Structure 1
Amino acid sequence: MGDKTFLDWPFFEARHRDWAARLEDWCAGLAVDHGDTDAACRGLVADLGAAGWLQVTGAAEGERLDVRTLCLSREILARHDGLADFAFAMQGLGMGAVSLFGTPAQRDWLARTRSGAAIAAFALTEPGSGSDVANTATTATRVPGGYSLTGEKTYISNGGIADVYVIFARTGEAPGARGLSAFLMPTDTPGLEVVERIDVMAPHPLAHLRLTGVELPESALIGRAGEGFKIAMSVLDVFRATVGAAALGFARRALDEALARVQSRRIGGEALANLQMVQGHLADMALEIDAAALLIYRAAWTKDMGAPRVSREAAMAKLYATEAAQRVIDAAVQLHGGDGVRHGFAVERLYREIRALRIYEGASDVQRVVIARSVLG
């Protein structure tokens, strides 16, 4: 990547710049075989863990997650390979509830996911409730010694390959969002079934899960009963900005590919880069990227400085960065002409990879609702 001047912005400290430089060097040797997505993800988690990069995906007891480092990591990994970003991100999101609210015993799993010895998943979405978390239908009924869970979860990232899931279910302390709880559930728990593996346009492990009388001990409860919604929103408060960072990584790669294309491709005897209309596209792309980066790292810095909630800042970062990246990548495809939609070209892959980011962890219109409520409030 040509422009790294953003690392000199006051959001960052020397340790962030050092982390970024070392991860960049590591990614230079990254070679991911996308032929078998499950195997690729397992291998990436193991490799990222062995190299120490997953240590930042969880926080030691009493410490906070370093959101700026999480964002920098996702940006760099996404620019090199979308599946590498996915493998990294899910270790953080999957164990986010344990990082923020877990008991010492539950943190034994965190040690395993940070080392790459186990794969984590975050199971919130259901067939009848995506962004409407308060409408969760999966139930957790009190039984002697713990809970019995019944229900379905869908579009669960790492579904089918995860070793441990954080599951959200209705325990009924109050109506709606106030009656949810979070549980830590190992994959080998009886009653858990992978109903379907879900194929999407940019392949990564996704599954539809069914829980039929899954019995979990009292010790599986994360936080207190009835705190599930608060736990889920606290996790998303941290990780939504990192989704924007992944989109930023995709956008930066798209601009790099576009710059190389327009400087090497000739029309009418001169490089495409000499055409004013092409220069206009490049200017718009650079502007979108810097604006997205400012919003992302503002949100991350604000959280790292101790703000209890950054819902507005994180929503702005995710909304703008993902929508802007879609526009940047679309422009890069256009500047590539026919090669832009041809398999094997980076911009075609980026075009498929960016679309999901405008949906998961709160679709774009949900982010608009969050921002509007903040403004109105």
Structure 2
Amino acid sequence: MDRSFLDWPFFEDRHRDLAAALDEWAGASLPVDHGDVDAACRGLVRDLGAAGWLRHSGGEVLDIRSLCLIRETLARHDGLADFAFAMQGLGMGAVSLFGTPAQREWLDRTRAGRAISAFALTEPGSGSDVARTATTARRDGDEWVLDGEKTYISNGGIADLYVIFARTGEAAGARGLSAFLMPADVAGLGIVSRIEVMAPHPLAHLRLDGVRLPADALIGEAGGGFRIAMTVLDHFRPTVGAAALGFARRALDEAMGRVTDRQLFGAPMSDLQMVQGHLADMALKVDAAALLVYRAAWTKDRGAARITREAAMAKLYATEAAHDVIDRAVQLFGGDGVRVGTPVESLYREIRALRIYEGASDVQKLVVARAALADFHGGQG
């Protein structure tokens, strides 16, 4: 793999050391058997924790460049390993950034791989439109009572704890939401169904039926749930782009090997100008995606309060570019590109969801456009 990007000024020596050490570990430990996805994810969380990689997934200060490098590296080796790592961070992001000392005690377990976390925001009637959240939380003495449904929840069914977003009613729309820390063994939490998707991951539809949580389960302030959710996504959205970048790098490497070894019309495929054109486009998209991803991560690590614009650009471009790079790799592999079990076929299934989750591409375009308009009008005023 081309590692020249690690010499870019976005990184420090500790990032280069991290990338090298993780690549060595991943080369020896991945991929794992995906036959039983639940068991594979449990094992990956355990192994990532034991090896110390999950220590980067949570804490009062998150180094976004490290998160991105880890996700890129894991995705290049095994998409399910990237998923397992990412959900430990995203699942506990609200606790890392807004939790009380007591709530943060859970981080000792999730960072060690002894507990699996989940982020429960999406509902049947509200995906990208978080303001339409219908799950409710009402105060009853010293407890909160939660009712509602959540769907497409990653780690649903295997998680030990969930961060749940519910409507507490302080104001209309997004301003009336709150976040809660909910152990998986509470009474009233049910798994309505497990959801099977094209690149197998543990996903579930959840129902909360009179779930009672203590008052101290509230994360941050009542009514602050939307701000918490958006802040967490601001931190982790560039890492989705980094995972896509890892998939794209793997696809480019696979394509390079294929066209170098494969003979066509009496010469290596790599001698054909059309093939070289595909490779040039693929390499260009990989580097452009990397620049956007690590610009966003560097900007946040430098102390920016919000990176909504940079994170949206990174996530949007990197996921769309990776989809194109992988599609071209499949084309260059010909019939073998669609044969089940080949690396590029697996990548083709893995990349599709990244253009949807944590902010669909169309929504990211709105975010970027609105940020650009705000900058324009601000500059005029």
TM norm. shorter chain > 0.5: yes
Q: For 1:28 and 1:297, locate their aligned partners in 2 and report how far apart those are by CA, in whole Å.
A: 23
> What letter corresponds to residue 95 of structure 1 in structure 2?
M
Shift in Å, 1:102: 0.3
- SS state at 1:285 partner: helix
Shift in Å, 1:366: 0.6
Superposed CA offset, 1:354-375 (max 9, x none): 0000000000011001001101
Instruction: Determine the structure 2 residue equivalent to 1:309.
Output: 306
Q: Does 1:277 align with 2:274?
A: yes
Instruction: Determine the structure 1 residue equivalent to 2:5.
Output: 6
Q: For 1:28 and 1:292, locate their aligned partners in 2 and report how far apart those are by CA, in whole Å.
A: 24
> What letter corresponds to residue 253 of structure 2 in structure 1?
D
- SS state at 2:28 partner: coil
Superposed CA offset, 1:189-234 (max 9, x none): 0000000000000000000000000000111000000000000000
- SS state at 1:215 partner: strand
> What letter corresponds to residue 309 of structure 1 in structure 2?
R
Q: For 2:48 and 2:312, locate their aligned partners in 1 and report how far apart those are by CA, in whole Å.
A: 28
Instruction: Determine the structure 2 residue equivalent to 1:23.
Output: 22
Instruction: Determine the structure 2 residue equivalent to 1:226.
Output: 223
> What letter corresponds to residue 16 of structure 1 in structure 2?
H
Shift in Å, 1:146: 1.8
Instruction: Determine the structure 2 residue equivalent to 1:45.
Output: 45
Instruction: Determine the structure 2 residue equivalent to 1:249.
Output: 246
Superposed CA offset, 1:132-188 (max 9, x none): 000000000110112100000000000000000000000000000000000000000
Q: For 2:156 and 2:341, locate their aligned partners in 1 and report how far apart those are by CA, in whole Å.
A: 27
Q: Does 1:176 align with 2:173?
A: yes
Size of the aligned set, in residue pairs, is 373
Instruction: Determine the structure 1 residue equivalent to 2:365.
Output: 368
Instruction: Determine the structure 1 residue equivalent to 2:346.
Output: 349
Superposed CA offset, 1:95-138 (max 9, x none): 00000000010011111100000000000000000010000000
> What letter corresponds to residue 16 of structure 2 in structure 1?
R
Shift in Å, 1:311: 0.2
- SS state at 1:357 partner: helix
Instruction: Give the 4+ runs in structure 1 shifted more than 4 A.
Output: none
Q: For 1:146 and 1:69, locate their aligned partners in 2 and report how far apart those are by CA, in whole Å.
A: 38
Q: For 1:30 and 1:346, locate their aligned partners in 2 and report how far apart those are by CA, in whole Å.
A: 17
Superposed CA offset, 1:41-60 (max 9, x none): 00000000000000010014
Q: Does 1:67 align with 2:75?
A: no
Q: For 2:218 and 2:151, locate their aligned partners in 1 and report how far apart those are by CA, in whole Å.
A: 21
Superposed CA offset, 1:276-335 (max 9, x none): 000000000000000000000000000000000000000000000000000000000000
> What letter corresponds to residue 25 of structure 2 in structure 1?
W
Instruction: Determine the structure 2 residue equivalent to 1:58.
Output: 58
Q: For 2:108 and 2:341, locate their aligned partners in 1 and report how far apart those are by CA, in whole Å.
A: 38
Q: For 2:338 and 2:326, locate their aligned partners in 1 and report how far apart those are by CA, in whole Å.
A: 11
> What letter corresponds to residue 13 of structure 1 in structure 2?
E
- SS state at 2:182 partner: strand
Q: For 1:29 and 1:121, locate their aligned partners in 2 and report how far apart those are by CA, in whole Å.
A: 28
Counterparts of 1:293-308 in structure 2, within 5 Å, are 293-308=290-305
RMSD: 0.5
Q: For 1:344 and 1:265, locate their aligned partners in 2 and report how far apart those are by CA, in whole Å.
A: 19
Q: For 1:103 and 1:250, locate their aligned partners in 2 and report how far apart those are by CA, in whole Å.
A: 36
- SS state at 2:365 partner: helix
Q: For 1:146 and 1:234, locate their aligned partners in 2 and report how far apart those are by CA, in whole Å.
A: 26
Q: For 1:311 and 1:324, locate their aligned partners in 2 and report how far apart those are by CA, in whole Å.
A: 20
- SS state at 2:178 partner: strand
- SS state at 1:28 partner: helix
Q: For 1:344 and 1:177, locate their aligned partners in 2 and report how far apart those are by CA, in whole Å.
A: 43
Counterparts of 1:322-337 in structure 2, within 5 Å, are 322-337=319-334
Superposed CA offset, 1:26-53 (max 9, x none): 0011240110000000000000000000
- SS state at 2:29 partner: coil
Superposed CA offset, 1:327-354 (max 9, x none): 0000000000000000121000000000
- SS state at 2:248 partner: helix
Q: For 1:282 and 1:135, locate their aligned partners in 2 and report how far apart those are by CA, in whole Å.
A: 44
| Candidates 132, 149, 158, aligned match of 1:152 | 149
| Candidates 198, 201, 216, aligned match of 1:201 | 198
Q: For 2:47 and 2:257, locate their aligned partners in 1 and report how far apart those are by CA, in whole Å.
A: 30
Identity, % of aligned positions = 76
> What letter corresponds to residue 139 of structure 1 in structure 2?
T
Q: For 2:69 and 2:264, locate their aligned partners in 1 and report how far apart those are by CA, in whole Å.
A: 37
Q: For 1:344 and 1:128, locate their aligned partners in 2 and report how far apart those are by CA, in whole Å.
A: 35
- In structure 2, list runs of 5 or more residues that go unmatched: 375-381
> What letter corresponds to residue 4 of structure 1 in structure 2?
R
